[in-house]
Amino acid sequence: MGVVAEHVPVLLDRILELFAPVLGRPGAVLVDATLGLGGHSDALLAAHPELTLVGLDRDPAALERSAERLRRHGDRVHLVHAVYDELPDALAGLGMSTVDGLLFDLGVSSMQLDRDERGFSYARDAPLDMRMDPTTGPTAADVLNTYPPGELVRILREYGEERFAQRIVKAIVAARESEPFERSGRLVELLYSAVPAASRRTGGHPAKRTFQALRIEVNGELEVLRRAMPAALDALAVGGRIVVESYQSLEDRLVKQALAAKAKSRTPEGLPVELPGHGPELRLLTRGAEQANEAEIEANPRASSVRLRAAERIGEAAK
């Protein structure tokens, strides 16, 4: 989630603009599916005094911090410890079935990046954890130390788009035989050695892709997103809007595909009229993916990789 220290939400003005037509209606409900430190939600609640927020996050520390931040909005705020593919259960638990707004700000939050003990950053030596919910599941160290070589290669190639996956995994397997991986500094040193010097000069930090791949694997991010998008769109009321901010190409591709599929007519080609129940369910609100401008990136460097997509629900789902 794109935020900086305390706490600059990415593309906030654009998000306020996209949601303005729908969140001012009486009884409007917004789900912030990736609450983080609550910057976007705080601004949206302030802009729409009758808005109700359902905020989800898998990280208990994020929920604690955002609860403080959002306390001024009183009983309009409902926070739920959940991963965003659990959105239908979260809504059912609150007696809700449809919502007017859905916001996803994907990826790792600044709070997670900035806390050394969470192990997300390759810039500082820390335990190799990388769990967004530190109360459950395997750590990045567990993945490095126990996965078969072929599975590690697949993860680095698929989730990190790492060209040198084979070389890196060969080095990892040799290193873990003498001593299990525990801290990020040792992994970063190995990656500097395994990635060819020419690529280090032109391809960014040699640890970036491997750390991304490990984080996605540890948190099941792509599988969760693949399940979450259809469930979220099913919960969106007619006239409601969804806004998604992605920070890497794999996420953005999944979002693009999910929105595009529901923005198409399902009437067979060649028929002169739209079949009932077969029209588009969504209208795309962005032309492709929108990016941050230079001014925003200068003020908030974590906005540099954002890709924003948005859509409005215009039709009922086919029964």
As annotated, the binding site for S-adenosyl-L-methionine includes 38-40, 57, 84, 105, 112
Burial class from Cβ neighbours inside 10 Å (0-12, 13-18, 19+) for residue 97 reads: exposed
Assess contact for 160 and 215: CB atoms under 8 A.
no
User: Tokens representing 17?
Assistant: 């603009």
Rounded to whole angstroms, the Cα distance separating 116 from 310 reads 33
The DSSP call for residue 316 is P
Stated as kind and residue range, the H or E segment containing 200 is helix 197-202
Sheet holding 307-313, edge to edge: 77-81, 52-57, 29-32, 99-105, 236-246, 307-313, 282-284
Q: Please give the annotated binding residues, written as ranges.
A: 38-40, 57, 84, 105, 112
Rounded to whole angstroms, the Cα distance separating 300 from 195 reads 29
3-class secondary-structure state, position 205: coil
In 46-61, which positions are buried (b, 16+ CB within 10 angstroms) versus exposed (e)?
eebeebbbbbbbbbeb
User: Tokens representing 198?
Assistant: 């020419």
Rounded to whole angstroms, the Cα distance separating 257 from 259 reads 6
Rounded to whole angstroms, the Cα distance separating 277 from 123 reads 52
CA-to-CA dists, residue 232 to 70, 102, 261, angstroms: 23, 7, 14
C-alpha triplet 4, 99, 52: angle, nearest 5°:
60
Q: Which of 294, 304, 83 is nearest to 204 (CA)?
A: 304
Phi, psi of 289 (to 5 degrees): -105, 130
Assess contact for 259 and 309: CB atoms under 8 A.
yes
Stated as kind and residue range, the H or E segment containing 258 is helix 249-262
